[in-house]
Structure 1
């Protein structure tokens, strides 16, 4: 029925939804040339398809819309943090691999040299492992925040 209706320009009307604070979620028909962003309304044809919401309904809808935007922003921030943590995890893993290779290269040293290198590498390896444990805890917390 609505598709056959035409505005004063001769075009079929367009069914749209208002997301203003005054009329959140209300359906209306308007000239196809209507452009909310520019304010251009074509032939000015406009008609609401539903009733004006009650004040409490308007408040609830606007609150839900605001919460949706807040959650979307929070999710975006958390995704960015997860990406940074993943990058740091990759960097630490590469560092640990580099240290393992360095340790393997030094295994051919004399026993006194070997003793000193093993001590140094154990400290470095302990720092890397500690960093990975901390990273694992941070990733777990972020995942819990995102998922639950």
Structure 2
């Protein structure tokens, strides 16, 4: 009998000396199928081979008596409730993640936009100041050149007057 990973769970390491067809100690597993919820069975542990696991597909029920109908229904209901709760938890986690990241991203982006506007305004103000300073520097340079020329003319005139 083949069982999927979701429909069985290993429950104990003691196997009461039961060995599988490949002469290895069998493991006790609990079935979670609709037909056999909670029913234990022995199964081959399998062995590692080159490309994965190999198993002799050994299978035997250790507890021969069938569970009472109410136990069967209770286990089915409990299993279904657990599955529903797991799905609901996963859904809620996803919603929380999306809402948390969504709020953070919009808040962060609006704050970044505000900071970017502030920095752009600061940059424009600094560019205006640089332009004003360049104009003043040009004016001062022209005044210095004109003053130097005037100074040279005055000195030259004084030298000419002093010779006469």
Q: TM-score, normalised by structure 2?
A: 0.50
Q: Between Structure 1 and Structure 2, whose CA radius of gyration is higher? A: 2
SS for the counterpart of 1:7 is: coil
In the other structure, the counterpart of 1:92 is 106
One of 66, 73, 93 as aligned partner of 2:80: 66
Structural RMSD (CA): 3.1
Equivalent position SS for 1:89:
helix
Question: Secondary structure of the residue that 1:48 maps to in structure 2?
Answer: coil
1:18 corresponds to which residue?
31
Larger fraction in strand: 2
Runs of 4+ with >6 A deviation: none
Corresponding position of 2:131: none
Question: Pairwise mapping of residues 122-141 of structure 1 onto structure 2 (< 5 A)?
Answer: none
Write the distance in 2 (CA, Å) between the matches of 1:43 and 1:90: 52
Q: How does 1:94-109 map to 2 (within 5 A)?
A: 94-101=108-115, 102=117
* CA contact 2:41–2:59 (8 Å) conserved in 1: no
> Structure 1 residue 90: deviation in Å?
1.3
How many residue pairs are counted as aligned between the two chains? 103
Query: What is the CA distance between 1:60 and its match in structure 2?
Result: 0.9
TM-score normalized by structure 1? 0.55
Please identify, of 65-74 and 90-99, the stretch whose mean Cα deviation from structure 2 is larger: 90-99
Higher RCO (CA-CA < 8 Å; seq separation 6+): 1
Deviations 1:80-104 (A, max 9, x none): 1111111111122113313532357
For the Cα contact (< 8 Å) 1:24–1:61, is it kept in 2? yes
